[in-house]
Structure 1
Amino acid sequence: MRYAELPDGDARGFFGDEDTNGSLNRQTPEAVRLAAQAVQTGDVFSLNAPLNWPDPPLYSRSEVRHTVLTTPLGNLDDYLDGFYPQSSSQWDGFLHIKDPEIGFYNHLPREKLGVHTWAQKGIAGRGILFDMPRWFERQGREMRWNERVQIQVSDLEEYRVSAGIEPREGDVFLIRTGWTTGWQAATVDERAALRSSPNSPGLADGRDMLEYVWDWGVSALASDNPSLEAWPLGPGFLHPHLLGRLGIPIGELWWLDELAEHSAQDGRYECLLTSAPLNLRGGVGSTANALAIK
């Protein structure tokens, strides 16, 4: 079913009346088998930032405190305080944002949703890297990491064609904006200024983008910036539509630089993408625990 055929852009019942996994259902055994064909060199890239990154934490979150202790048996154990599963490289679960009109994904009550259902299924599929700073540079344009630049559908489509990528059901978009690169190079004062308002490039909002990703058949979207979308957010805010209406998971603050450098060298922008969300019942979000294998 095309996006234009979904009533009010709502995929309720599309994957089943009681479904809790949304577009991750597109990652069928056949889709995963085809995704594995992207593995040619065997190079593995972790897409995960340290748990205590960014430093300082965004959105006034507290810092993660890691305590290592010695047990009465003499072995070491450790625990975390102030840990936000969505503070570093992470997934936004379907409970993260409620659509103001329909509520949570598939019109289900809060009690039936949570990242634990994703964990029980696992995430695996073809990852498609959209290295937008390099693409913009080739077009004679500039993408500053701390300014609001909207990545339009036309940018994604032109990139896709130039990279020789054919859309496939179950793909995961990996959108590199250069935000993590910029943050790493920023001064302490620059980071402090952006802590509560992390301006960044990102996907353009609005119906055209929703239609593009749904009709492609994506299973999830992930980016290296704090919001997936360009920040500050626009009037056509994507989050409630992606999470609440279409059931498309959103990843943010993923580390994509090393993967992008490798792809720029070998000219291949696809990989096998795996992720193991936290098996946390009722969890609102999860660490990404993501790997890209080429």
Structure 2
Amino acid sequence: MNLLTQAYSLPLDFFNPPLLGRVGFEKKIIDESPLIVNDDVISFNTQGSSQWDSFRHFAYQKDQKFYNGTTQSEIHAEPNTSVNGLQSWTQRGLAGRGVLIDYYSYACRNSLDVRPFSPHAISLDDLLNVAKEQGIEFRQGDVLFLRTGYVQAYKALDKVGREKVANLREWCGLAQSRETTEWLWERQFAAVASDSPGFEVRPPIDQTWHLHPILLAGWGTPLGELFELDALADLCAKHGRWSFFFTSAPLNYTGAVASPPNVTAIM
């Protein structure tokens, strides 16, 4: 049996200038003369490219509480606190059955207006229609991947376009609603991720059901952003199969707020 693999983490220096005013990727190559040897040192915001958000990233804003009631004072009590970090994930890694909802291709086929750099809300009905067309059967513990077309649209931008997008704080994503939240809970996804900067549409169309605090601070559900899903979508379409085994190995250090996912899909 031939195994097909596809990595879907973007390069750390892919977004230039960096999105949302974050610190950009920096690299220094060190010449270790007189030895003919090189080292390199890199510095980057862990949310500057493809990423998993940890449970210390986004709190319930009114209650000021993260997952399991953790507070900012607990996280910042000393430089190396570990509460709500990623190390429980990195000890075992993340692995399981992934399912890809390719909304972008569905929208293009059905002449729907796709606007990745605007608050274009993908409704639950939209998502379920794509799943039905792709023949996806959701299972408890799946990881849900949603392709909005954000990364593909970004790839097509010139320098001026990328500079403009870097300052935008709105994008296409899953629409917030009670119905959407209840559906996500009933599916019991192990994690969710998309190719947009936030998984859900921004600004939220319904602040009451803002998914970041619900998923991260409420349920303890890993949330992935800016994943490279274009090549994965091509592979799935080629083989008529939209589920796959995936593995992810986040960075291993104490108290991570986020991490590049280092993800591979295997079919």
Letter in 2 for 1:55: N
The equivalent of 1:245 in structure 2 is 218
Alignment of 1:131-150 (within 5 A): 131-150=102-121
Letter in 1 for 2:30: L
The equivalent of 2:175 in structure 1 is 204
Contact 1:201 1:230 in 2 (8 A): yes
Q: 1:72-107: CA deviations, max 9, x gaps?
A: 6542211113x1111111011111111132611122
The equivalent of 1:265 in structure 2 is 238
Following the alignment from structure 1 to structure 2, what is the Cα–Cα distance between the partners of residues 51 and 158? 33
Q: Kindly indicate whether residue 248 of structure 2 is the aligned counterpart of residue 275 of structure 1.
A: yes
Contact 2:23 2:48 in 1 (8 A): no
Following the alignment from structure 2 to structure 1, what is the Cα–Cα distance between the partners of residues 222 and 235? 26
TM-score by length of 1: 0.81
Following the alignment from structure 1 to structure 2, what is the Cα–Cα distance between the partners of residues 233 and 192? 23
Contact 1:223 1:251 in 2 (8 A): yes
Contact 1:210 1:242 in 2 (8 A): no
Alignment of 1:107-146 (within 5 A): 107-108=69-70, 109-110=74-75, 111=81, 112-146=83-117
Unaligned runs of 5+ in 2: 76-80
Contact 2:24 2:48 in 1 (8 A): no
The equivalent of 1:51 in structure 2 is 12
Per the TM alignment, residue 269 of structure 1 is displaced from its structure 2 partner at its CA by 0.5
Q: Kindly indicate whether residue 29 of structure 2 is the aligned counterpart of residue 76 of structure 1.
A: no
Q: 1:159-204: CA deviations, max 9, x gaps?
A: 2222222221211111101111111111222221121214321101
- Figure out how many residues of one structure are paired with residues of the other and give that number: 254
Per the TM alignment, residue 137 of structure 1 is displaced from its structure 2 partner at its CA by 2.9
Aligned pair in 2 of structure 1 residues 69, 249: CA closer, same or farther (>3 Å)?
A: same
Contact 1:206 1:238 in 2 (8 A): no
**62-71 vs 87-96, which moves further:** 62-71
Per the TM alignment, residue 220 of structure 1 is displaced from its structure 2 partner at its CA by 0.5
Letter in 2 for 1:99: Y
Q: 1:110-145: CA deviations, max 9, x gaps?
A: 342101221112100111011001112333422122
Letter in 2 for 1:242: L
Contact 2:196 2:227 in 1 (8 A): yes
Alignment of 1:141-290 (within 5 A): 141-234=112-205, 235=207, 236-290=209-263
Following the alignment from structure 1 to structure 2, what is the Cα–Cα distance between the partners of residues 182 and 77? 35
Per the TM alignment, residue 41 of structure 1 is displaced from its structure 2 partner at its CA by 4.3
Following the alignment from structure 2 to structure 1, what is the Cα–Cα distance between the partners of residues 150 and 20? 16
Letter in 1 for 2:231: E
Q: 1:232-279: CA deviations, max 9, x gaps?
A: 233232101110001111111110101111212221101111110111
Following the alignment from structure 2 to structure 1, what is the Cα–Cα distance between the partners of residues 57 and 203? 18
- Secondary structure of the residue that 1:243 maps to in structure 2? helix
- Secondary structure of the residue that 2:30 maps to in structure 1? strand
Following the alignment from structure 2 to structure 1, what is the Cα–Cα distance between the partners of residues 182 and 124? 9
- Secondary structure of the residue that 2:216 maps to in structure 1? helix
